[in-house]
Amino acid sequence: MGSIFSVTNQKGGVGKTTTTVNLAASLAENGKKVLLIDLDPQGNATTGCGVDKETIEVSSYDVIMTQAKAADAIVKPEDLSFSVMPTNSDLTAAEVQLLDVKLREHRLRLALESTRDKFDYILIDCPPSLSMLTVNALVASKGVIIPIQCEYYALEGLSSLLKTIERIKQRANPTLEVTGLVRTMFDARNNLANQVSRQLINHFSKKVFHSIIPRNVRLAEAPSHGMPIIDYDRASRGSIAYMALASEFLRQQQKNN
């Protein structure tokens, strides 16, 4: 049965969607069957995978709110090595609608039960907020991958997210764990970035992935072409970094299983 991981950080602009898309592609490159679920109403992961938001017939909104079958929402773009459950702006309404439905925190978990065994890994791109959609993702997940930019406010936002994860663990998902922190958009020439990086390692030790995602122009360009970086520019520093992250992640999972 496939392992589910939420990729989340309540702070926007930290490389959350970039990490979800490119980790999915890199895991697929390693021969794994991967599903990416776009649970962010902005739909950036959907377009970053080359899926047109305007032509989606069944989306993650339908799976959560209308009990559509997960299998009916999953698409496999021709040029992509992994599958996608796309979304569009309809998902914005779910933030409010979920407040009035039964088992509101468990809708995604229940919806995925019928399709989990078709994949090795399922990655969920969460909204940049601690919303009911994010709670659904965390309740459904085995682990949480936290992309974090090494800047002044990084640790402040992280502490709030960790409290939420702990609450979810106590109330709804006792097996939930922090899988790891990924340092993104990293510039080794920046003294503050290096300082925050050291703080992260001091605070979280082995929870910090060794692989670091650099600030990289080609990585920033790839989403506008609807492609993961491994397909857009395999030789770029960004591509190499995400392949290294995928290898590290797989070693970690093999060790833990």
Tens of pLDDT, residue by residue over 127-175, are 988 889 999 999 999 999 999 998 877 777 788 889 999 999 999 999 9
State the residue range of the domain holding 185: 3-256
- Answer whether residue 1 shows pLDDT above 80: no
CA end-to-end span of the chain, whole Å? Answer: 12
Mean pLDDT of the chain: 94
Higher pLDDT, 28 or 160: 28
The model's confidence at residue 197, banded by pLDDT at 50, 70 and 90, is very high
Q: What's the average model confidence in pLDDT over 1-24?
A: 93
| β 3-7/208-214 pair status | unpaired
Q: Which tokens go with 9?
A: 């950080």
d(CA 234, CA 161): 33
User: CB-based contacts of 65: which residues, under 8 Å, 6+ apart?
Assistant: 93, 94, 97, 98, 101, 107
Q: What's the average model confidence in pLDDT over 196-212?
A: 92
Q: What's the average model confidence in pLDDT over 111-136?
A: 94
CATH of the domain at 91: 3.40.50.300
Q: What's the average model confidence in pLDDT over 16-22?
A: 97
Tens of pLDDT, residue by residue over 55-109, are 999 999 999 998 899 999 999 988 899 999 999 999 999 988 998 888 899 999 9
User: Do 214 and 186 form a contact (C-beta atoms < 8 A)?
Assistant: yes
* pTM metric for this prediction: 0.96
Sign of the CA dihedral with 179 first, then 241, 74, and 64 last: positive
Percentage of residues in the chain having pLDDT higher than 90: 79
Q: Find the helix packing angle between 237-256 and 16-29, rounded to 10°.
A: 70
Report helix, strand or coil for 168.
helix
Task: Output the pLDDT for position 26.
Answer: 98
Q: Nearest-CA neighbor of 247 among 33, 35, 49, 32?
A: 32
Task: Output the pLDDT for position 11.
Answer: 83
How many domains does the chain fold into? 1
